[in-house]
Amino acid sequence: MAITFKKIHGNADSKFIKRPDGSQVLPDGTKQEKWTDTIKVLGPGLAISYHARPGYPTDGQIEAVIAAAAAARTIMRKAVREMDRVVFFRRPEGKDFSNIMNYHFGLGNDRNNGTLVSNIVDKSLSVRDIGKKDRRWALNRIREGMLSISFHLNTGMYLIDCDNAERTVKSGAFKGAAGTVSELNEEGYCTWASWAGLDSGLLSSWRNGEIHVGFKLLHDGGYSAEHYARVIIHEAAHKYLGVTDVKYAHQTTDYRGLSFHRCIDNADSFAWAALSLHAGNLLYGTSSKDSTACTDAIAPQAA
Q: Has residue 301 got a pLDDT over 60?
A: no
Q: What is the pLDDT of residue 142?
A: 98
Task: Name the range with the highest mean pLDDT among 10-24, 125-139, 224-238, 281-295.
Answer: 224-238
Whether the CB-CB separation of 240 and 149 falls below 8 Å is answered with yes
CA atoms within 13 A on the CB side of 151: 10
Residue 221 buriedness (CB in 10 A; 0-12 / 13-18 / 19+) = middle
Tens of pLDDT, residues 207-266: 578 899 999 999 999 999 999 999 999 999 999 998 999 999 999 889 999 999 999 999
Q: What is the pLDDT of residue 146?
A: 98
Tens of pLDDT, residues 29-85: 555 667 788 999 999 999 999 988 899 999 999 999 999 999 999 999 999 999 999
Considering the chain, what is the average pLDDT of its residues? 83
Tens of pLDDT, residues 154-204: 999 999 999 888 788 887 666 778 888 888 888 999 877 654 444 455 545
Whether the CB-CB separation of 168 and 178 falls below 8 Å is answered with yes
C-alpha to C-alpha distance for 156 and 46, rounded to whole angstroms: 6
Q: Average pLDDT, stretch 267-290?
A: 91
Q: What is the pLDDT of residue 116?
A: 85
Give the residue, 26 or 210, on which the prediction is more confident: 210
Q: What is the pLDDT of residue 11?
A: 45
Q: What is the pLDDT of residue 1?
A: 47
Contacts of 283 (CB under 8 A, 6+ apart): 272, 275, 276, 293, 294, 295
Instruction: Give a three-class secondary structure readout of the chain.
Output: CCEEEECCCCCCCCCCEECCCCCEECCCCCCCCCCCCEEEEEECCEEEEECCECCECCHHHHHHHHHHHHHHHHHHHHHHHHHHHHHCCCCCCCHHHHHHHHHHCCCCHHHCCCCCCECCCCCCCCHHHCCCCEHHHHHHHHHHHHHHHHHHHHHCEEEEECCCCCCCEECCCEECCCCCCCCCCCCEECCCCCCCCCCCCCCHHHHCCCEEECHHHHHHCCCCHHHHHHHHHHHHHHHHHCCECCCCCCCHHHHCCCCHHHHCCEHHHHHHHHHHHHHCCCCECCCCCCCCCECCCCCCCCC
